[in-house]
Amino acid sequence: MQVEEWTEVEQAAPAITSSGAAERLVSGVPLEELAGVATYGPFRVTDGSHAALVGITDAHSPAQFAAMLHDYPQIATLDLVECPGTFDDIANLRLGRMIRDAGIATRVPRGGSVRSGAVELFLAGARREIDDGARFAVHAWEDDTGRQASDYPPTAPENAKYLDFYRAMGMDADRAKAFYAMTNSVPFERARWLDAAEMRGWVANETAAAVSGPDAAPADPAPAIVPEPAPRLAFLALDLDLAGTVH
């Protein structure tokens, strides 16, 4: 069964067509090629210990990620810079598990944008860092029959694969259910945006002190699940800071 989750932006964007696999993305303004020493699909190696994700993942992304780690085994941090989502949800979840298994940290720099299926890749980090000015977007998925998560029983395989993933990434059962409910709190056609502080409320922010100072308070409880109107998605004014510390 095909699952789709993506949202058009106000600016013209390439049409999204079905490839027979799950799709889940929120389109954004095309980003100019990020300079790097090597390119593996949407991944850019920026130095010996850092890579960046710039673009949409698909069925080829797990193999491309594996090839990158084979050639650059010292990569320790993946910066999520401009990440609209995925053309293949199953491959995307597999990629997330590969990131976790490799012990790689994920970081969203100031000005970075992580949307839809790319949110799972951020959650996959062995350590997760969110710089102030980072943004995230979530929304409900829709399959090729027009049904969304709420149209299936909570324990159906269509829902269980996401809950299983969130638990594998460190959420307890209650937090996984709450996070999944939040992602599905707006329909397929819209997006709910979260700023850096809101997203930190959903994850253990191991680097809060580095972002907010040594006296930073513990992360706030998970934000209430209140659907918000999606902005006109007419961005990205990128002001990125990729010079972070490896954790």
Q: Which two tokens stand for residue 14?
A: 């390439």
- The confidence score (pLDDT) of residue 35 equals 64
The model's pLDDT over 125-138, given as tens digits with 9 standing for 90+, comes to 999 999 999 999 99
Q: Does position 44 have pLDDT exceeding 80, yes or no?
A: yes
The percent of residues in the chain predicted with pLDDT above 90, rounded, is 60
The model's pLDDT over 140-166, given as tens digits with 9 standing for 90+, comes to 888 778 889 999 999 999 999 999 999
Kindly list the domain boundaries of the chain, sorted by start residue.
3-212
The CB density around residue 182, as the number of other CB atoms within 10 Å, is 20
Domain 3-212 indexed as CATH 3.90.226:
yes
Give pTM, 2 decimals: 0.75
- Give strand ranges (E) for 146-236: 192-195
- The confidence score (pLDDT) of residue 145 equals 85
Whole-angstrom distance, CA of residue 60 vs CA of residue 30: 20
Q: Which residue has the higher pLDDT, 26 or 221?
A: 26
Category of 244 on φ-ψ map: left (φ > 0), alpha (ψ -120 to 50) or beta: beta
196 confidence band (pLDDT: 50, 70, 90)? very high
Rg, the chain, Cα only = 17
Q: Which residues pair with 138 in a beta bridge?
A: 192
Q: Which residue has the higher pLDDT, 232 or 239?
A: 239
Listed residue (64, 102, 111, 110) closest to 86, CA to CA: 64
Q: Does position 1 have pLDDT exceeding 80, yes or no?
A: no
The model's pLDDT over 70-120, given as tens digits with 9 standing for 90+, comes to 999 999 999 999 999 998 889 999 999 999 999 999 999 999 999 999 999
Mapped onto helix, strand or coil, the DSSP state of residue 4 is: strand
- The confidence score (pLDDT) of residue 146 equals 86
